[in-house]
Every structure is written in structure tokens, then in C-alpha cells.
Structure 1
Amino acid sequence: MDFSALAYKIFQESITKYHVKNDVDQAFINPYKEDDIDGLLYRKNWIDTVQWHYEDIIRDPDIEPHAALKLKRKIDASNQDRTDLVEFIDSYFLQKYRTVEVKNNATINTESPAWAIDRLSILALKIYHMKEEAERTDASSDYVKKCHQKLEVLLEQRKDLSAAIDQLLSDIEAGDKYMKVYKQMKMYNDEEMNPVLRGIK
């Protein structure tokens, strides 16, 4: 099984499991070993799935300001967890391909494998929810038709992105491409770099 197919399968498992309760506060239980790539992928998508629903909730025009601020803090923390986990997944690939002899004419990709996989995880969520919309019985036929059309585009995007991920990994394994991991270095979470946080210390 290609890596993209394995990842997508695990993403679907995570999304399906979340929607059994469909509750952002439900406990997270990883069916895979935490530090194995399967466990990392499952946890990655679970973070994305919970945040997807955070983003829905915070757009409620009637949400109370205190609740919105509390939720915004959760979204910030979720974003940090997501970034940390993407970098952890890239570390897995660095370790996996550490002995590959990189060719002299090898090139670097515009994004690392894990950030491409991050896009696939989000795409899995888009496909799941667009399919839900396309199957609604309480919506107009015009709306349902448009959602079907959008779903077709998303499915094509999944096919293209999956192929690109597998090709990138194949190229890295063959030494035709090499990877580097640049830490995100988000400044607004740093108490020294964020002037607002620095000012209230």
C-alpha cells in the first residue's frame, strides 16, 4: 500500500470515530501505538478534526464573548499541537531516510513530506463534510448539485495530492530529492518575542 493510501485510511478512521459522538470535548483514544507512524497519523487527524469543529462553533454569531475567547485559546493551542506533530512526523521521515545517499543533482521540495500529509488530512475532512452536504435531504436540489460538483473536485485533488506525496517519498528514497525540516518558530506564542506578552511579564 502506498504511504498516501495508508495515511488516508487512518484519517478516515479518525474522522469516523470522532463523529460517533461528534463532541469536541470527547476523550481522545489512539487505537495505534503513540510513537508509531500509524499512531502519529491518527493523532494528527484527530487534532485537525476537533479543530474543524472548533472553527464551526466560534463562528456562531450568538456566541458569548467569554466563550469565544476561551475557544480562541483552544484553537491557538490546537494549532501549536498540529505544528509540533507535523514536525514530529517529518522527524520520522528524516530518520527513515537517514542512510540514503543523496545524488549530487538532487533537489529540495517546496514543502516537506509531513506538511504535504497535513494537507491530505485537511482534505480528508473537506471530503467527509462535503459528502455530508451533498447527501442532505433538507437542502435544495441546486445546493445539492453544487455540493456534488465540489465533491468531485475535492476527490480529484485527493488523487493528485496523494500521487504527489508518494512521488516525493519515492524521490527522497532514491536520493533524487532531499529534505530539511525548518522549525516554524512561531513568534506570537513566545513570551520574549511577542511584545504584548513580554510587556506583561
Structure 2
Amino acid sequence: MISEIANRIFNQVIADYHKFDDIDYTVKNPYDAETLEHLFYVKNWIDTAQWHMEDVVRNPQIDAAEGLSWKRRIDAQNQVRTDMVEFIDGYFLNLYKNIKAMPDAKINTESPAWALDRLSILALKIYHMKEEAERETATPEHREQCLAKLNVLLAQRDDLSQSIDELIADIEAGKKYMKVYKQMKMYNDPSLNPVLYNKS
């Protein structure tokens, strides 16, 4: 099952990242470059690094110039994240290019890779909520609240995993077909963001 592979690798990446806890650490992807596992590893590393960038920029004592620098870095990282999702969708499009869709086949509300993107972020939420549920310096009330939230996240992961596997099965059976739209993010494009093109 795709979701089982994804969840296993996302958890592995998060554990690998926290061995060093360094946004700029050079990634050592253990999977062959041609595999889906390799792509999942890269995907979650991008998300994990961005998660920690978001933590840094929310420090209320951060210097304004440094905060702006981090915000711009987060924007750039978000573009990398989007590009990676679209690359993974390209993998799936190529994988299923010879499958003939049934006449009554339907399109899904999101592509496989965007669903997997949500699963990747969910893995990060689960990891950090579990940390909070077990944090000894937190109050019992805080830990209890976080444990309740953790249980919701775990249930959400089960449901999302099942939905992803069902989507993949439907695509393989021709019951659904893939149609991928580029996200066309405008804020990073100097020709589309009026604040940028009016400066030139």
C-alpha cells in the first residue's frame, strides 16, 4: 500500500532530522534515486525543514531583519515543496499512463501527491504533538489536552491513509483518472506579483 510506504518513510525522515535538528543539514537519502521511496524521503525532508523554519520565525524576540530573511526563505522553501509535489504527481502520471479510464471514470478533488503532501504534514503534527503530550516540563492539563489532540491526529492519519490507498486503487482500476494542474503560485513570480513588477 502506498500509504504504508509513505507513513514509514515520513516517520523515518522525521527521526533522521531530529538526530541533528539542523535546517541546513545535508540530506543523506538512503533510497535509490529512481524509486518512489526516494521521492517520499525528499518530500518529507523539505516539509520537516520548513516546519522548523516556521518555528524560528515565530520567536517574538526575533530581530525584524532576521525575521524578514526567514520569511523569504520560507517562501522559497514553499515553492520547493510545491515543485516536489508536482514532480511526484508526474511520477504517478507516468506510472499510470497506459491505464485506460472507464467511460464513467471520475476525477478526484486532489491528486495523489497533494493527498500525500497532507499525509507528510500530518506526520510532523503527530511527532510534535506526541512530544508535547510527553513533555515533562508541561502541566498535566497541557499534556492531557495534547494527548487528546494526538489521538485525533492518529485517527485522521488512518482515514487519510485509507483514502489515498482507495484513490490509487481506483486509478489503477480505471475508475478514476488523474488530472494535474500546476499550482501557479504568484507571490514568488516577479512578473505576476504587482509589488515586485511595479518596483522594476
Same fold at TM > 0.5: yes
Comparing 106-115 and 191-200, the one that deviates more: 191-200
Q: Unaligned stretches of 5+ in structure 2? A: none
Note the aligned Cα RMSD (angstroms): 0.9
- Give the AA of the match of 1:11: F
For 2:106 and 2:75, how far apart are their aligned partners in 1?
Answer: 34
Structure 1 segments of 4+ aligned residues over 6 angstroms from their partners: none
For 1:101 and 1:33, how far apart are their aligned partners in 2?
Answer: 29
For 1:13 and 1:81, how far apart are their aligned partners in 2?
Answer: 21
How many residues matched?
200
Query: Within 5 Å, which residues of 2 pair with 1:130-145?
Result: 130-145=129-144
SS at match of 1:26: coil
- Give the AA of the match of 1:44: K
Normalising by structure 1, report the TM-score: 0.97
For 1:123 and 1:93, how far apart are their aligned partners in 2?
Answer: 21
For 1:126 and 1:118, how far apart are their aligned partners in 2?
Answer: 13
Normalising by structure 2, report the TM-score: 0.97
Structure 1 match to 2:3: 4
Structure 2 match to 1:59: 58
- Give the AA of the match of 1:149: A
Superposed CA deviations along residues 55-79 of structure 1, whole A, max 9, x for unmatched, are 1111101000111111111101110
For 1:26 and 1:135, how far apart are their aligned partners in 2?
Answer: 27
Superposed CA deviations along residues 29-76 of structure 1, whole A, max 9, x for unmatched, are 211233421111101000100111111111101000111111111101
For 2:109 and 2:48, how far apart are their aligned partners in 1?
Answer: 26
Q: Unaligned stretches of 5+ in structure 1? A: none
Superposed CA deviations along residues 128-168 of structure 1, whole A, max 9, x for unmatched, are 00111111111111111111111110100000000000000
SS at match of 1:8: helix
Structure 1 match to 2:127: 128
- Give the AA of the match of 1:130: M
Superposed CA deviations along residues 164-189 of structure 1, whole A, max 9, x for unmatched, are 00000000000000011100111122
What percent identity do the matched residue pairs reach? 57
Query: Within 5 Å, which residues of 2 pair with 1:1-201?
Result: 2-201=1-200
